[in-house]
Amino acid sequence: MIIAVDGPAASGKGTIARALAVHYDLPHLDTGLLYRAVGVATARAGRDPDVEADAVAGCRIDETLLTDPELRTEVAGALASRVSRHPAVRAALLEYQQAFARQPGGAVLDGRDIGTVIAPDADAKLFVTASTEVRAQRRHREDALTDYDAILADIEARDARDSGRSAAPLRQADDADLLDTTDMTIGAAVQRAIALVEARIRR
């Protein structure tokens, strides 16, 4: 079974995807981490994330970079959003993600284009969202050292860039179930996600 989980920054999609992977005993891939690694590698090499050829050079990711805590920062998120709009970067990461999705037994993947591009044939697709303010509050709780207004501005900029780009923009797949977590606890959101997946696979 392939489960696709997409949505904007801090919507809860990563937590939900991890919980679904545990519940169904499936491997999980956080595809945002790949783009974050490309963004950070590009910046560390002194290259320009807005120049496609520079960002493509950052696609040869060293596996150890994927565990670097710097990847979790909002700076890395913004770098990821800049490199991820280049079609050649998306193409370079496509095969790895599709092979992960199609492994025997299936997988759970979360990102921005899983239900639309990476696994359009997924058995269940969730589009996880929440209000911008709630998403900024969640990030602020994880990163209390950064000013709330700066986080809110960053999330708004990232949403605009991710939704407005021409290559695989962030959008809900036609056959995805919408899960708005604005007023939900993590536990309630996970229960709802499982119920939506169950309803899909019983159809």
Query: Is residue 129 a contact point for ligand CDP (CB under 6 A)?
Result: no
Q: Indicate the Cα dihedral angle 52, 41, 61, 164, nearest 10°.
A: -40
Query: Is residue 77 a contact point for ligand CDP (CB under 6 A)?
Result: yes
Which of 3, 12, 26, 32 touches ligand CDP by CB under 6 A?
A: 32
Question: Among candidates 179, 184, 164, which has minimal Cα distance to 129?
Answer: 179
Under 8 Å CB-to-CB from 191, ≥6 apart: which residues?
Answer: none
CB of 134 to ligand CDP, least distance (A): 14
Under 8 Å CB-to-CB from 61, ≥6 apart: which residues?
Answer: 34, 37, 38, 41
Which of 162, 173, 179, 192 touches ligand CDP by CB under 6 A?
A: 162
CB of 50 to ligand CDP, least distance (A): 13
In contact, 47 and 58? CB cutoff 8 Å: yes
Which of 28, 86, 112, 192 touches ligand CDP by CB under 6 A?
A: 112
| Ranges within 44-73 binding ligand CDP (CB under 6 A) | none
The smaller minimum CB distance to ligand CDP, of residues 20 and 80, is found at 80
d(CA 173, CA 148): 31
Question: Among candidates 5, 167, 30, 34, which has minimal Cα distance to 93?
Answer: 34
Of all residues in this chain, which one has the CB nearest to ligand CDP in the complex?
A: 32
CB of 183 to ligand CDP, least distance (A): 19
> Using CB under 6 A as the criterion, which residues of the chain lie in contact with ligand CDP when the complex forms?
9-10, 14, 31-32, 35-36, 77, 80-81, 84, 111-113, 158, 162
